[in-house]
Amino acid sequence: MITELRSVRELGSACDDDDLVMWAAQGLTGAGRAWALGDAVVAGSPDISRRDRLAVWGDASCAVELVRHALGELGPSYRPLGEVELMGAVTAKLDGVDEAGRFSWMSLPAAAPAAALASVRSPVSGEGDEVGWVEAEGEVAALLAAAAPHSYAVPGAAGVSRWAGVRVDGVIAAVAADAWSAPTVGLLAGVATTSAFRGRGLAERVCRWLSLELVAAYGRAALMVDDVNAAAIGVYERIGYRRRPVMAAHVAP
**What string of DSSP letters covers 226-249?**
-TT-HHHHHHHHHHT-EEEEEEEE
**Mean per-residue pLDDT, 172-189:** 98
User: Buried b / exposed e across 164-201, counting CB within 10 Å, b at 16+?
Assistant: bbbbbeeebbbbbbbbbbbbbbbbbbbbbbbeebeebb
**Mean per-residue pLDDT, 113-134:** 60
pLDDT at residue 133 is higher than 60: yes
For the chain, first and last CA: distance in Å?
Answer: 29
- Of 105-119, 150-164, 193-207, the least confident: 105-119
**What CA–CA distance (Å, rounded) separates 207 from 221?**
11
**Mean per-residue pLDDT, 96-116:** 85
The pLDDT, as a whole number, for residue 125 is 38
The pLDDT, as a whole number, for residue 130 is 87
User: pLDDT band at 118, cuts 50/70/90?
Assistant: low
Q: Phi and psi (nearest 5°) for 249?
A: -130, 170
Kindly list the structural domains of the chain, giving each domain's residue range(s) and its CATH number in brackets, ordered by start: 3-103+247-251 (no CATH), 110-219 (3.40.630.30)
242 in Cβ contact with 79 (< 8 Å): no
232 in Cβ contact with 198 (< 8 Å): no
**Mean per-residue pLDDT, 31-43:** 97
